[in-house]
Structure 1
């Protein structure tokens, strides 16, 4: 992805301001979450006891009676067979965790209209986070950056607002450019780490431009989606779906530091448009091959519920 060079500044604003945070919180309350059936092995997934689902119906074990146990749980068959009172215990139902993954790498710090791709990705994840908090879920997060950050699952409004502030921290152009040849290797490591650490049943929202998606990383995405609810949000700038009709423009590849002159000729503009369309189509085909799909969100898009609502 290309972007014009921006000189470093001593102070950079947060990706979103307080007004935008408030607006996202209000919209999240309008996000209707229909009950989603889970597979049988996901009934007890997650690290947080449910405040609404009860103690569960699936039998765990029979153990000797202890003072204070509920007599309604008495296991009469075991009691009669062994001659001592036994109690049936059940698995406690648990709420799944919502884990947000924000791509803050070099190519996400780009925009031609309205807002940076990373800012739009943050808006998507914060909307999902507010909705998860309203549903009583614990929220955790990961930020892919020059130094990756991981925030463990926390519960409650205060903890979530603190996490939200961390996700929208300033995101200036990188001082050190990452070699493009290493981007997919880093993404592979990150995806494998998520697949190892996140429990079954976890709700995962990953917002990125997916420039790292390829034959090596797609299977890792599929492993992450196995026994988890993965929503993959692909953030696109309008220039990625159609090069504007303007003169030649000097641009810099934020992944490699290479500089190029693009545009200025109708034939070249059409080639760029076609190349971008082919790249996105190849990504879609690769995802489909692994049973996945991306939710596309454009950087100028203000209303997100119409796009994300069906996937909540």
Structure 2
């Protein structure tokens, strides 16, 4: 992409997403994640209404009466964006391409984090770790992130969510809030990596998809291409049986993803490329607030 065109796109996304994060998400983001970065302070005797999950069982056993851990909210959070840059993100038939929606969602979260005085970092992943941007603060850092979101060219085409989660868990030692932004087109099992990452960090999943991916249109003989593996296949979309089987495949894959996230206790927002992502993020933030 030419420099002038890139700068124009960076400026457009900055104006749009900074305005959203300042005017809409300012309070919602803080209330949704302010209690997630907590530092252990002391223990005290259990009082009615305390969360039983905060009981310190070692101290309780020593004194033979319940004690709970007291936490203090840390002044700042570290926020990590795990952004899927596999080839399937380039698909776009209804609304904007998935990669454009992912970039806007990520940029909005980044501006929300900066306005809350949080550090923001990013990992681009395909079926390999494409790029790691360590967490920092500041407008210059944010603009660098946005530029990379728009113009980054991955080396690989596949998807490996487990690899990205494992890398993040190893790279970021301090507990952080992590947004996993992907279309979740991944044939690998990532449940174990998801569970481990969510125990160590505060993990949130955001799925971006195109509605055209959910069902085949009745347009006769069409050629379908797997953008990540490069294989092609001719399909007779005029056949109701073919369309039903495709819809069943999509629903089955979606249910597996939802089940995996539920079992790992990871919050999810699903956003179609022709949706208003503001509504989805607001709903997510309110649910966590």
TM-score, length-normalised on structure 2? 0.76
Is 1:44 the counterpart of 2:39? The answer is yes
Distance 2:17 2:34 in 1: 27
CA RMSD of aligned residues (A): 2.8
Distance 2:184 2:230 in 1: 19
User: 1:201 corresponds to which residue?
Assistant: 175
Aligned-partner SS, 2:162 = helix
Is 1:101 the counterpart of 2:101? The answer is no
Gaps of 5+ in 2: 43-71
- Per the TM alignment, residue 305 of structure 1 is displaced from its structure 2 partner at its CA by 1.8
Distance 1:176 1:206 in 2: 19
Change (3 A) 1:222 1:298: same
- Per the TM alignment, residue 138 of structure 1 is displaced from its structure 2 partner at its CA by 1.2
User: 2:233 corresponds to which residue?
Assistant: 260
Distance 1:17 1:115 in 2: 17
Distance 2:173 2:113 in 1: 17
- Per the TM alignment, residue 233 of structure 1 is displaced from its structure 2 partner at its CA by 0.6
Aligned partner (choices 217, 223, 240) of residue 213 of structure 2: 240
Aligned partner (choices 175, 181, 192) of residue 166 of structure 2: 192
TM-score, length-normalised on structure 1? 0.70
User: 1:155 corresponds to which residue?
Assistant: 137
- Per the TM alignment, residue 267 of structure 1 is displaced from its structure 2 partner at its CA by 2.3
Change (3 A) 1:287 1:277: same
Q: How many residues align?
A: 248
Distance 1:107 1:157 in 2: 30
Distance 1:229 1:193 in 2: 15
Distance 1:264 1:295 in 2: 33
Is 1:26 the counterpart of 2:23? The answer is no
Change (3 A) 1:93 1:111: closer
Distance 2:129 2:169 in 1: 19
Aligned partner (choices 142, 145, 153) of residue 123 of structure 2: 142
Change (3 A) 1:92 1:308: closer
Change (3 A) 1:253 1:285: same
- Per the TM alignment, residue 214 of structure 1 is displaced from its structure 2 partner at its CA by 4.4
Is 1:133 the counterpart of 2:128? The answer is no
Aligned partner (choices 263, 277, 289) of residue 304 of structure 1: 277
User: 1:229 corresponds to which residue?
Assistant: 202
Q: Is the 8 A contact 1:109 1:117 kept in 2?
A: yes
Q: Is the 8 A contact 2:81 2:123 kept in 1?
A: yes
Which range moves more in the overlay, 277-286 or 12-21?
Answer: 12-21
Distance 2:10 2:34 in 1: 36
